[in-house]
Amino acid sequence: RDIEEVSQGLLSLLGANRAEAQQRRLLGRHEQVVERLLETQDGAEKQLREILTMEKEVAQSLLNAKEQVHQGGVELQQLEAGLQEAGEEDTRLKASLLQLTRELEELKEIEADLERQEKEVDEDTTVTIPSAVYVAQLYHQVSKIEWDYECEPGMVKGRGMFECHGVPRLC
């Protein structure tokens, strides 16, 4: 708009031939327009620099985000590999647990058999021991030997009181 006014002013100056006053006014106006144009250009250059700076920051931010995505992908792959290893270890441990459970059941069966056999032995011993004790007590009364009933099965231990030279002694 300002440029149109300047152009029309120049045309009227040429057409009317009004001289210097109008020429100075138009030149002053032309200088103002040029100054505003330069100011606008400076402002536009400043805005352009700011936009370029922001674009660089956005580009750097985008690169950083891409790097983070890449790192996340690498970490995800590592976690998936770890998960797979843990799954394999879990499978091995479950198989081992199953085997140990079977062995435990077998040991429980063996223990039950041993307890049954021990009970049978105890029953046999219970029947045998009272008669052996009776015989030992009877023999003690006759021989004056004190029998050790706490000794191991199959062993006979005892001590007797005998007179040696008229003095009772432990032998």
Contact 140, 149 (CB under 8 A): no
Q: What is the mean pLDDT of each run of 10 residues along the chain (171 residues)?
A: 73 61 74 88 95 96 96 96 96 96 95 90 64 69 69 67 53 49
CA distances from 98 to 88, 95, 149 (A): 15, 5, 48
Residue ranges covered by each domain of the chain: 2-170
Q: What is the pLDDT of residue 142?
A: 72
pLDDT value at residue 120: 82
Nearest to 148 by CA among 139, 133, 158: 158
Q: Is 163 helix (H, G, I), strand (E, B) or coil?
A: strand
Strand runs (DSSP E) across the chain, as ranges?
145-147, 158-164, 167-170
Q: Which amino acid is at 27?
A: L
Q: Which residue is listed with tokens 């300047």?
A: 6
